[in-house]
């Protein structure tokens, strides 16, 4: 928010009606200034004030959505340089490149990889996001046919790339209404490309040979009615890519430069022919601060580390990934199935659950809310301890589902077994489980 609380207060109705949930208009203004309230909570703000406040509260880097439906991908809208300051919000979109110089088999193989290379991790599906379709033939008809083929072959958003305006126009019109990203508007054709984007409901890449060149005409694209812009400042090597992405974010966040307040695109596919160098460049772009990375292929061996890196960087460091507290059924447990208790740290859950699944032993897994801490951390914080665990076990209702009295605790908290037994009462038997999750299958089979 660029305005102070007092400046915002001057634009509010000052009736102190409390409908926004704040006791006074001043309190609401202060909450707005601190980013703790939404403007639409006040139903009485005038349209004029709304326009002023919305402009002032717009994120310093514009959020741009590419594609439509479930597979639409948002990039940009970042607020900080370092994720420990707050968090990074919209993970770098990874795109796969196809061109109209490729034969059908090659295009099909790449789109197949884009659609199907996926990994499951901590309950999330890790996958690539966009298809970049490039015209290299200069033949508008051929390019249009490729765009149409792409639209039928993937639900992911398209980046439509052509130097020749006639080809760009043919591709954009074929993808009209699909939320495509047009690549690219330059200083020479930005009016024409902005009009095409407006007509087809697309966003636009502003492309120049330098940051300064791009900054000179993004305002013209906005004036042309297209606010959703992505920047390509011409980097085609590692040093300039790193420099451009950093400087553009710095200009947007620190200098509040609206001409550069847009996400960036890095064409790492054009920087090397070596697939491993390309992966390394993509890794750098994901870390600092590429919003879209275009790669030559989405193959499993390069994607797994990139997806995991992206997941790690874009996971909020201040909010642990947690599971809901409750009883989880694994391998269809019955009344005589064992009961294991552990914490709601997502990684703990998925590791333990995967080992139980692998054992094929039907098991009840009791997940206790300890604010997302791992077993030892929660124990040392006084949260995964006997007098907290016992009431949870009773309240969980697990006793109604079983015909025995055994509950298995993680081996790392073996020291609480006596106290836990006491808290639960004599009708329970506490069993010490394994320290390592990898030993769970053998442990369960031996029960
Ligand atoms: S709803 Fe609007 S007018 Fe009413 S107290 Fe909140 S800010 Fe003031």
| pLDDT (tens digit per residue) in 89-142 | 999 999 999 999 999 999 999 999 999 999 988 778 999 999 999 999 999 999
CA–centroid distance, 18 to ligand 1, in Å, is 5
pTM of the model: 0.79
Determine the longest span between alpha carbons in the chain, in angstroms: 82
CA–centroid distance, 339 to ligand 1, in Å, is 53
Which of 132-146, 281-295, 314-328 has the lowest average pLDDT? 314-328
CA 45 – CA 286 distance, rounded (Å): 40
Q: Ligand 1 in contact with 42 (CB < 6 A)?
A: yes
pLDDT digits (tens, 9 = 90+) for 169-215: 999 999 999 999 999 999 999 999 999 999 999 999 999 999 999 99
Q: Ligand 1 in contact with 23 (CB < 6 A)?
A: no
CA–centroid distance, 10 to ligand 1, in Å, is 12
Q: Which of 28, 37, 41 to mutate to test the pocket of ligand 1 (most atoms within 8 A of CB)?
A: 28
Atom of ligand 1 nearest to the CA of 21: 6
Q: Ligand 1 in contact with 429 (CB < 6 A)?
A: no
What domains appear along the chain, each with residue ranges and CATH number?
5-57 (1.10.15.40), 63-313 (3.20.20.20), 326-446 (3.40.50.11600)
Helix then strand then coil, % of the chain, to nearest 5: 45, 20, 35
Mean pLDDT of the residues in the chain: 94
Q: Where are the beta strands (DSSP E) in 46-178?
A: 63-66, 73-76, 93-99, 118-121, 124-127, 130-134, 157-161
pLDDT digits (tens, 9 = 90+) for 218-269: 999 999 999 999 999 999 999 999 999 999 999 999 998 999 999 999 999 9
What separation in angstroms does the CA of 228 have from each of 214, 245, 283?
A: 14, 18, 25
- Mean pLDDT throughout 391-404? 96
Atom of ligand 1 nearest to the CA of 12: 7
Which pLDDT value is given to residue 203? 98
CA–centroid distance, 52 to ligand 1, in Å, is 17
Which pLDDT value is given to residue 260? 97
Token representation of residue 325:
């507290």
CA–centroid distance, 302 to ligand 1, in Å, is 53
Q: Whose CA is nearest to atom 7 of ligand 1?
A: 25
Q: CA triplet 373, 378, 383: central angle to 5 degrees?
A: 120
| Selection from 208, 206, 203 nearest residue 227 by Cα | 203
Polymer length in residues for the chain: 447
Q: Whose CA is nearest to atom 4 of ligand 1?
A: 17
Reported as a pLDDT band with limits 50, 70 and 90, residue 2 is low
- Mean pLDDT throughout 54-80? 90
- Mean pLDDT throughout 319-343? 94
CA–centroid distance, 15 to ligand 1, in Å, is 6
Atom of ligand 1 nearest to the CA of 15: 3
Q: Whose CA is nearest to atom 2 of ligand 1?
A: 42
Reported as a pLDDT band with limits 50, 70 and 90, residue 1 is very low
CA–centroid distance, 368 to ligand 1, in Å, is 41
Q: Ligand 1 in contact with 19 (CB < 6 A)?
A: yes
């Amino acid at each position: 928010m660029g305005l102070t609380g007092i400046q915002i207060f001057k634009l509010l109705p000052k009736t102190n009606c409390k409908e926004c949930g704040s006791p006074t208009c001043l309190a609401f203004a202060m909450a707005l200034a601190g980013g703790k309230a939404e403007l639409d909570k006040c139903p009485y703000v005038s349209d004029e004030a709304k326009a002023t406040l919305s402009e002032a509260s717009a994120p310093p880097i514009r959020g741009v959505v590419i594609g439509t439906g479930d597979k639409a991908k948002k990039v940009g809208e970042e607020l900080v340089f370092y994720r420990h300051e707050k968090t990074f919000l919209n993970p770098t979109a990874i795109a796969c490149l196809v061109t109209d110089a490729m034969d059908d088999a090659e295009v099909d193989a790449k789109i197949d990889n884009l659609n199907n290379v996926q990994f499951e991790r901590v309950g999330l599906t890790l996958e690539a996001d966009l298809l970049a379709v490039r015209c290299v033939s200069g033949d508008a008809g051929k390019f249009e046919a490729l765009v149409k083929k792409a639209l039928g072959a993937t639900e992911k958003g398209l980046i439509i790339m052509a130097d020749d305006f006639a080809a760009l126009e043919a591709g954009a019109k074929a993808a009209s209404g699909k939320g495509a990203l047009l690549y690219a508007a330059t200083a020479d054709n930005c009016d024409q490309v902005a009009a095409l984007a407006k007509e087809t409901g697309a966003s636009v890449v502003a492309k120049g040979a330098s940051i300064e060149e791009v900054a000179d005409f993004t305002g013209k694209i906005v004036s042309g009615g297209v606010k959703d812009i992505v920047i390509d400042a011409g980097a085609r090597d590692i040093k300039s890519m790193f420099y451009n992405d950093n400087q553009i974010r710095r200009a947007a966040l620190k200098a509040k430069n609206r001409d550069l307040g847009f996400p960036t695109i890095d064409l790492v596919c054009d920087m090397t022919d070596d697939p491993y160098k390309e992966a390394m460049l993509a890794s750098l772009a994901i870390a600092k601060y590429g919003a879209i990375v275009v790669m030559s292929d989405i193959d499993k061996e390069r994607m797994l580390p990139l997806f995991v890196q992206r997941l790690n960087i874009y996971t909020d460091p201040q909010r642990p990934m947690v599971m809901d507290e409750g009883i989880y059924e694994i391998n269809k447990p019955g009344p005589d199935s064992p009961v294991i208790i552990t914490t709601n740290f997502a990684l703990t859950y998925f590791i333990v659950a995967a080992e139980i699944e692998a054992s094929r032993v039907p098991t009840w897994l009791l997940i206790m809310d300890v604010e997302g801490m791992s077993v030892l951390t929660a124990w040392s914080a006084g949260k995964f301890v006997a007098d907290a665990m016992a009431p949870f076990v009773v309240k969980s209702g697990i006793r109604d589902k079983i015909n025995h009295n055994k509950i298995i605790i993680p081996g790392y908290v073996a020291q609480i077994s006596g106290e836990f037994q006491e808290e639960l009462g004599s009708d329970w038997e506490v069993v010490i489980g394994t320290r390592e999750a990898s030993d769970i299958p053998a442990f369960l089979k031996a029960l």
